[in-house]
Structures are given as C-alpha cells and as structure tokens.
Structure 1
Amino acid sequence: MSDIQGNLLIADDNKVNRLLMSRSVELLGHKASVAENGKIALEMLAKEPFDVLLLDIEMPEMDGFQVLEAIKTDPALRDLPVIVTSSVEGLDNIVRCIELGAEDYIPKPVNKVLLKARLNSSLEKKRLHDEQKRLLNRFATEEVADDLQKSGFAIGGRRVHATILFCDIRDFTALSENMAPEAIIELLNTFYTLMFEAVSSHGGIVSLMVGDGLMAIFGAPQPIKSPEQSAVEAAKEMLDMVAVLNEERAAEGEPKLRLGFGIATGEVVAGYAGTDARATYTCIGKTVNRAARLEAHTKTSDCRILFDTETHDELIERDGVHRIADALFKGFSNSISVFAIK
C-alpha cells in the first residue's frame, strides 16, 4: 500500500508528546496540527477538515472518551478515522475506545513503524470513503445523499406532503429531427444544467430525467418552507434562464426552446424504488399524475406554467396568476381547477 499524505490533528495535553508526535508524522510526510485537550480538538475539527485524529485519552476539560462520544454522534465527523495513542492500560479501555468508533489503539511510547502502518491504513480508508461520498453526490442530489447517510438505504416509501413539478421541452422531436446526435446531447446537457440549478436553488430535487423532460420534488426527502411557492419560483427561473439561452441560439440561427410546466401539490409516497442492486429516490401518487397531466395540458392551453388548486391556495405571491378553464384528465373521474402563469 502506497503512502498517502494527510492532514492530521494531534490531541494531547502533554507538550512534549505533542512535539514528538508532530515531528514523527511530519517526517512521514504528513501535515500536523495540535490541540492541548479534547475541547480544543473538537473546535478545530468544526473549523477545518482533517484526515485523521491522533487522540490521547487522559486530558483535562474533555478526555478522549468524551471526544469519541461527541464524534460518534456528529454526522459531519463520525467518519473521521481516530487512532487512540495512550498510556492508559487495560483491555477494557481499549475495547471502550473501539466501541466508541476508534479506528485503532496504539500504546505509548508509540512505535514509529506501527504508527506509519496505522496511518497509511486509516488514510486509505478515508480516501475510499471520500471517493464513495463524491460518487454518491455525483449521482444523487445533496438532499438524497444526506438522507442516505442519516437514515440508510431501504426499499420503500413514506407518505409526505410535497409539490411535484414536471417540465418538458415542447416539440423536441421536431426540433431535434435535423440535429446531429452530438448536438442533441450537448443541447440536453445545457438544458439539464440550467434546470438543475433552478430546482436546487429553490430547495427542490430532480428525481427523474426522461429524454427532454424532468420531474422535480419540493418537500422531500427533507421538508421545506412553502414547497408550492418554491416550485412556481423554480419554474419562473427556468423560463428566465432559457430566455437567455434562446438569445444565444437566435444569434446562431437556431430555433428557440419552448418549455411547459405542470405543478401539483398534495400527498405522495416518496422513497427508494427499485431493487437492492439498483434504486432511485422518487415519488408516486395522484399528485404526481396530476402534475404530469398539467404539464401535457400546456401544449393545448397556450400557457407555460399550469398548477392545481392545492398549489394556488398556498402561494404567497400570485402576480400574473389567473384561472383558466377546468380540465378533465385521463385517469381522473372529476375535472380539476387549473391556474396558469402565461
């Protein structure tokens, strides 16, 4: 296993021990910072990311056991590798350290060869964990990634109140008919980049991308204040972004993109659907179906943003909102009231 350079924090109340340990890890190619007790160590961990904590047990104000307990209950720190370096003897103390989440236990005086091996092992595990986290954040939204880390993964869902947004590029098939495949992919990537930014900036998550359309959820997996207003504002921001994009496309002689949005609010079942091998965070229910039908209805209503009564009634800002003719959608026994922003 190759050596990995790391940013280490050494917590020890003995000044000589701090100096000797700092010298040892710096000779191994690592950066060393020091804390004279557990309380200061936690304060430093909250301000700066470290790769490994070398922790003494017997310290004033806050001992090593208390530090381990605090790290174990802190979502931001619980994956930090901790190597206990202590002169405290007894198997019970070692077991307690491991049970509290310590990666390893090295007795004092610390053997430098053993220290090097333990640091390399801990830094490699930290590197792999960071890589897994990076990949998770790449293929899942920040909210879903946080939900997975806090709650764990399990197939299934729970009932939540949320607002669903569907967005689609109108007449995309005709628009892309004479485009090269590479140009289509580039256009869609630009479109999705803009849409993701608008959705995430208003507290929503994109849970589904299909061709030239997407579905976004506001209010799950984490609740947000006024998901209805957030969804409408996200749709408005998308239109503003595409208007700028269309100016560039017009200058290049390319046709403008036209978007349609359907927004509905109500109870949905949200969670992870699929298998243990492959799953995605999504939601189902009549609210989802209603939002999809409203988005499709934009193609015949000549309105860009349509939403239901449940969304309308909770809006804080209603400038430009007007009611259009009620609509009866496929799969629904009764017609629904439809509101629009042209």
Structure 2
Amino acid sequence: MLFAPFDWLYRRLGSRYPKIFVTLELQAGFLVTAGTVVLLAVYYDGSLSDYALLMAIALGLTACSIAFGLIRIYPRLDPITDWIGGRRDEESTERAWVEAVSLPLALVRDELLIPLIGVVLPSIIAALLIFDLPWVGFFPLLGAGIVAAGYGAILHHLTLEIAMRPVLVDLNRAVPPSLASHVTALSLRWRLLAVLPMINVITGLAVAAVSGADNLGVAVLAAIGVATTISLELTILLTRSVMQPLRDLQRATDSVIEGDFDAAVAVTTGDEIGELAASFNQMVSGLRERERIRQAFGTYLDHEVAEHILSEGFSEQGELVEVSILFCDVKDFSGFAETAEAKEVVACLNQLFGVVVPVIAAEGGHVDKFEGDGLLAVFGAPQPFSDHADRAVRAAFEIDRLVNRVGEGGDFKVGIGVNTGQVVAGSVGGGGRLNFSVIGDAVNVASRVEDATRSVGDDVLITAAARERLHEDFGLERRGERELRGLERPVTLYALPSEGGEGLLEPVGGAVRAVYARVRGHRPEG
C-alpha cells in the first residue's frame, strides 16, 4: 500500500514524473525549516514579530536553496525522463538505471552543503541579531541547525528511494542483471547507523522542549550524548543482527552464481530474514535437482543436442538439411562377444567409445545413436556447419589413427564410412518420448559404406558425395564404384592413399589432435 500512490503517479505523469516529484519532495524543506524555528521558540524568549521575521528569513533562504538545488539536480533527471519518454537503446537504459538508483544518495551527498551554507548559517546569524544573543550562542544554534539539516537529508533520501521504485521496476525489465553491482548506493548498515541515532536526537530535543528545558545547548549535547552512547550501542547490535544473515546470504548467492549448488544459508532467526534464508535454501535445493537432471540429460543425450534443446527448445517439426554422416563399427565383434563375459564386453566398448566420442565432439559433430558395437555421428545438425564434410572426414581419419594404428581403443579395430547428403532432421518419437535424429538415404549409405571396408580393405571409406563437399585436399584415392547391399545404384568410394597417407594427413590431423587432447584432458603428442 505504501508504494501504490507512487505507482499511480508514475502511470499518470509518465516522463514528467521524476522532475515533478523531485520538485514537490524538496518542498518538505519548508516544513523542516518552519519546525526548527518553532522549536527555537521554546528555548529563546522573543516577541511574535521577532519569530515572524526569523521565520520569513529562514523560509526565504530555504526557497533559494531549493531553487538552486533543483537547477543542479534537473540535469541528472534527464536520462530518466528520456528513457520513460521512449529512448530505450542499451546505452540510454543503463544511464537511466544508474541515475535512478544513485539519485537519492547523490541528492543528499551533493546537495547537503547547500542548506548548511545557504540556510543554516545565515539563519543562525539572523537569530543572534534578532534576539540579541551573545556570540557564544552560535554553537548550540549550529548544533540544532545541523540536526535539522541531517533530518532533512535523511527525509529526502528515504522519500526519493520510495519514489524511484516504480521507475526502477520498469527499468528492471530492460537492464542486465549484473548492472546493479556497478552502482553505488547507501548501504543498509549506514542507513541504520544514520537514521536511528538521528531519530533519538530529534526525539530528545522534542522531549526536552516539552518538559520545559530552557537551555538549547544542554538539550543538544544531552540528545547527542544519548544517541552516541546508549542508542548507538543498540543500533550497532541491531545492525549486526540484520547485516550478518544478509552477508551470509550474499556469499551463498555468489557461490551459486559461480556454480556451487551445494551452498546453503544457516537459518538463525525466526523473522523475515530467517524466512528469506529458508526460501533461499529451498531455491538452491531445486536448482541442485535441476542441475542433476541437466547432468544426466547431458550424459544420456549428446551434449550438442542437449545444449540445443536447452537453449532453443525441441521442435517436433522436421527440417530438410544437408549433413555428413559418419558410421563407425567394430570389426569381428561377434566372435569377441560370444567368448567374453558381459562385463568385459561393456567395459571394452566403453573404452573404445571413450576414444571415439571426444574426437567427434572436437569436430563439432554429435553422436546420433549407439547401435551395439557401432555408432552413428552427424555433422551439420542441429548446429549447421558449411564445412561439415571436412569435419566428418577429419574425425574419421583421427579415429582410424587412434584406434586402428595407435591402439587406444584396446584390441578392437573399426571400420568407418562417411557420406554426405540431405536428411530430415527433427524430433522422432511418440507417447511423450522424443529423440533428435536424422532420417534419409544418406544415413543408410554411410552404414553400407562402412560394411564395404571389410571387402575393399581400407579402414576408412568416403563417398563421392562427401568428397565433392570437401574444402580441404585430403589426397584421397579413388577405389572405384561398388555395389553396396540394399542400394540400387553403385557408389563411388575414396580412401587414403595406400602409401604416404600419414604424411598427407599430418597438417589436418595435427589440428584435430590438439582439440581432441583438450577434450580428453591431456596434452597433445609432440
């Protein structure tokens, strides 16, 4: 309910709201000045005409001070009014946000000297002359004037913070979340340390006046003494009881931002701060569960596809795209599977795929599916690449080098077929279960080409369709046309040169191995 009038004014006034409200709010200075003069009447004897004269002088000085302050503060409001008026580019939005957040503190910090020099000091001199006071009376009057100016500053700060809230709520829809950390404002600790003692000082002066005290200097000193001893001690204790849980919450929030979802805040109170800490712990528990699901999601679904789904969603409509397909299969696997134990079969396949999958990922491809002892990898979907054929061929030759020549895949040897063509890429499934996959003859051809490695004698075979899409020269040799099982037309195949192939591929393989080494967490071979 406190903010409702300000929200209503903001909606009604639009871009005029900041300047109109600041202008009206500063008029509170007249009330502070008038109240201070009335309070002086309790401590100093004087005729009604004397106090009327002092009131007129003080209010006139206050009017000049307010006018001067508005002239200085209006330029700071221009970015805010421009943004509300429709200038909402990124730079204008950030400037408006910074000015709106820092306005209350800036008004107090930059304009505090204006009432002190322009109102308090001249009014004290006027009071000394009007009431014919000794010059030593300057000091208690100065103390009272500083208290009045401090009260006015705190009043302006708190009121402007409330008034700027609807503007900041509107701005928050457009500013980046990290921008708030770059704005300087009065901390909660200093607000408590400034406001509560000031309340006690003002209360002390008012009580002294009502109780019949006739010495302003003694009343000011007594009020300040209480505010800086007993009251300040209680204020510091209150500040610590409020600030410590908030600091704990801030540290835990920073930990969550850095990815630590085990962060938690101790609930040490039963008040609103304790409820906030408990809510934070519940939120982190939910984030931790989501992260666990995300990790499982990335484990049982290819990382590239998982990121695509999380960032762009999962469309159930298929899309016709050109991709390159890599099909990899273990040679003579059936004989091994018949004699080995089930655990050994799984362990050996995991060792093999632990070599193959990082190579595919290093080239931007993703494993579409594991098919027993083989796998199907796609380059060019869901993330498109203009050089998808080059990526697939580089991955094929690197897998061949690591598994068939270096032996990192254990005792297994693999055959690899690479083909390029158009496929339908999209979500396939039903009954609440979907899987991103590619469908088309290009997939079948890649599988049949891999079968041909057993009869042709090459571990890696590439179709003419894939070769035509290559940007790099891999020095491929033609293996002629081959009739492949299940295909109506013969397919022209290519492979590495039978001699010197390692040297021809060194410039290509070196780059792949560097990326692959980073994926697997060790340094590349020298």
The TM-score, its normalising length taken from structure 2, stands at 0.45
Kindly state the Cα deviation for residue 28 of structure 1 after the two structures are TM-superposed: 6.0
- Paired residues of 1:25 and 1:32 also in contact (CA < 8 A): no
Q: Distance in 1 between matches of 2:457 and 2:273?
A: 74
Distance in 2 separating the partners of 1:223 and 1:116: 45
Amino acid at match of 2:385: I
Are 2:419 and 1:198 equivalent residues in the alignment?
no
How far the C-alpha of 1:300 sits from its partner, in A, is: 0.8
Structure 1 unaligned segments of length 5 or more: list them: 1-8, 34-44, 52-109, 250-255
- 1:336 aligns to 2:507 (yes or no): no
Q: Give deviations 1:40-81, integer Å, cap 9, x for gaps.
A: xxxxx7xx5587xxxxxxxxxxxxxxxxxxxxxxxxxxxxxx
CA deviation after TM superposition for structure 1 residue 267, in Å: 0.8
State percent identity of aligned pairs: 27
Q: Which residue of 1 aligns with 2:185?
A: 14
State the partner residue of 1:189.
Answer: 350
Which residue is equivalent to 1:241?
A: 402
The structure whose residues are more often strand, as a share, is: 1
What is the letter of the counterpart of residue 316 of structure 1?
A: H
Change (3 A) 1:315 1:248: closer
8 Å CA contact 2:481–2:490 kept in 1: the answer is: yes
Greater RCO (CA < 8 Å, at least 6 residues apart):
1
- Out of 293, 315, 318, the residue aligned to residue 473 of structure 2 is 318
Bigger shift: 267-276 or 11-20?
Answer: 11-20
Aligned to 1:24, which of 245, 255, 265? 245
Q: C-alpha displacement at 1:121, in angstroms?
A: 2.7
Which residue identity is paired with 2:421? G
Q: Deviations over 1:168-190 (max 9, x none)?
A: 11111123332222211111010
Pick aligned residue for 2:282 from 108, 112, 121: 121
Say which SS state the counterpart of residue 31 (structure 1) adopts. helix
Task: Give the greater-gyration-radius structure (CA).
Answer: 2
**AA partner of residue 185 (structure 2):** N
SS in structure 2 at match of 1:113: helix
How many angstroms does 1:162 deviate by? 0.5
Q: CA RMSD of the aligned region, Å?
A: 3.1
> Which residue in 1 is equivalent to 2:422?
267
CA contact under 8 A between 1:268 and 1:285: conserved in structure 2?
yes
Relative to structure 1, the CA distance from residue 320 to residue 175 in structure 2 (aligned partners, 3 Å threshold; closer, same or farther) is farther
What is the match of residue 179 of structure 1? 340
Check 1:200–1:18 CA distance in 2 against 1; reply closer, same or farther (3 A cut).
farther
Secondary structure of the residue aligned to 2:407 is helix
Deviation at 1:125, TM superposition (A): 2.3
Deviations 1:251-309 (A, max 9, x none): xxxxx422111111011111221225333221110111111111111111111111111
- Superposed CA deviations along residues 116-152 of structure 1, whole A, max 9, x for unmatched, are 2331232222222222211111111221111111232
* 1:298 and 2:453 correspond: yes
Q: Are residues 283 and 25 of structure 1, via their aligned partners in 2, closer, same or farther at CA, if it must alter by over 3 Å?
A: same
Q: Distance in 2 between matches of 1:248 and 1:231?
A: 19
Question: 1:71-220 maps to which residues of 2 (within 5 A)?
Answer: 111-220=272-381
- Local SS of the residue matching 1:207: strand
Given candidates 280, 285, 290, the residue that maps to 2:435 is 280
- Residue pair 1:163, 1:266 contacting (<8 A) in 2 also: yes
Q: Using a 3 Å threshold, how does the CA distance of structure 1 residues 29 and 147 change in structure 2: closer, same or farther?
A: closer
CA contact 1:298–1:304 (8 Å) conserved in 2: yes
Q: Which residue identity lines up with residue 31 of structure 1 in the other structure?
A: A
Change (3 A) 1:155 1:228: same
Could you tell me which runs of 5 or more consecutive residues in structure 2 were left unpaired when the two chains were aligned.
Answer: 1-177, 191-238, 262-270, 499-526
* CA shift for structure 1 position 248: 9.0
Q: SS where residue 339 of structure 2 aligns?
A: coil
What is the CA-CA distance between 1:244 and the residue it aligns to? 6.1
Q: Is the 8 A contact 2:352 2:408 kept in 1?
A: no
Aligned residues: 260
Answer yes or no: is 1:327 the counterpart of 2:488: no
